[in-house]
Amino acid sequence: MNTPSTFGEAVLRIAPADIHIPQRLGLYFPDKAAALGRLMAIHGQRTPITVRKSAKGIEQPWTLIVGMHRLNGALIEELPFVFALERIGGTAADALDEEASENLDRRDQPPLERAIFIHATCEAARARLGDVKQHQLAAKARWAKYKAGEIRVEQALQEEADDASDTMSLAYGWVETVAEAFGRDKRTIHRALSLYKMVIEPFPDLTQALSDHPVVGNNAAQLKAIADIKSEKQRRAVIEQLLGNPDLSADEARVAVGVDLPSGPAPLPHMKHVNAIAGGLSRLSATQQKQNLDTIVGALKSDEVKRQLRDRLNEELGDAR
């Protein structure tokens, strides 16, 4: 049985270099860390970070749980210490859950980072219920069906969102109204898991750079335009287009790789007939066109149109001379 986690009795002062930073859930934003470090240097540290004693084999005596940007800010500013609360007891999964929970409460969280934390919170909820293996098998089967073309991506995502929301409700005792108050209703979870499954999970090497993209990175609608692409190959191509051009939008990148056609005014309904006539005439030889001149001229419906055609042909012949 795991020991329930608690905080130590005192706020600790720890040298930043004595804290090990493990692999994190969230994305790292250097500008944010630098800004927090400057504020901490001028005004002091208002909120302690959270640490636990390091496991054997880790050089630093402390390991970070929550507060990556604050800790890195302190390192940038070369502050002599940071305030920290020690987590006592609990498991590595509890530490991950705590990191996810704190970050979910930040309202200015970029969409990709929020998707990472919502996914992590869902996994932590399933761990509380002890159905992680069962979920993993169900999820694996669900996405295998999608890749085999047996179900559409919308159905797979909806099942994933329903499963996640129901699990979270059981694990945390949330009801729908409370979930909506926290911005974690099924629609929110669906959007986040869509980003996670279609953008973050397939391309972990591109996620940080995409989040840093000045046009797309913090725009949920633009990111959705990427997640909506069915082909994984085309999704990667769109992301790579964006990473190669900081001024490009997701819509423009979709056009560039051939997902969408260039936008423009819609053709008038009668143009399909004009295009059919022009295409048909161009496939006739000069002899065939000559043999069928009576039919072609006879199809013209007014003398005015015939006169305009005559004048246009005279201009054409005059230009040729």
The pLDDT tens digits of the residues spanning 54-108 come to 888 999 999 998 888 899 999 999 999 999 999 887 666 666 666 666 665 555 6
Q: Between 180 and 115, name the one with better pLDDT.
A: 115
Between CA 185 and CA 193 the distance in angstroms is: 12
DSSP labels for 39-77?
A: HHHHH---S-EEEEEPPTT-SSSEEEEE-HHHHHHHHHH
Burial zone of 191 (CB within 10 Å; 0-12 exposed, 13-18 middle, 19+ buried): buried
The contacts of residue 308 (CB under 8 Å, 6+ apart) are none
Class of domain 6-88: alpha beta
pLDDT value for 264: 64
Most confident of 108-122, 125-139, 153-167, 283-297: 283-297
Between CA 242 and CA 265 the distance in angstroms is: 25
Q: Between 60 and 25, name the one with better pLDDT.
A: 60
Q: Between 299 and 29, name the one with better pLDDT.
A: 299
Between CA 126 and CA 128 the distance in angstroms is: 5
pLDDT value for 148: 82
pLDDT value for 244: 92
pLDDT value for 27: 73
Beta bridge partners of 84: 12, 49
**Are 93 and 127 a contacting pair, CB within 8 Å?**
yes
pLDDT higher than threshold 50 for residue 1: no
pLDDT value for 72: 92
β-strands 62-66, 49-53: how paired? antiparallel
Token pair of 188 as six digits: 């929110």
pLDDT value for 217: 92
Burial zone of 25 (CB within 10 Å; 0-12 exposed, 13-18 middle, 19+ buried): middle
Which residues of the chain form CATH 3.90.1530.10? 6-88
pLDDT value for 233: 93
Residue 34 CB neighbour total at 10 angstroms: 15
pLDDT band at 178 (very low <50, low <70, confident <90, very high): very low
- Spatial CA neighbour of 193 closest among 221, 219, 162, 171: 162
Tens of pLDDT, residues 215-265: 999 899 999 999 999 899 999 999 999 999 999 999 999 999 989 887 666
Angle at 106 between CA 13 and CA 154, to 5 degrees: 135
pLDDT, averaged across the chain: 80
pLDDT higher than threshold 60 for residue 46: yes
Among 7-21, 96-110, 168-182, the least confident range? 168-182
pLDDT higher than threshold 50 for residue 268: yes
pLDDT higher than threshold 50 for residue 205: yes
**Are 34 and 107 a contacting pair, CB within 8 Å?**
no
**Are 109 and 103 a contacting pair, CB within 8 Å?**
yes
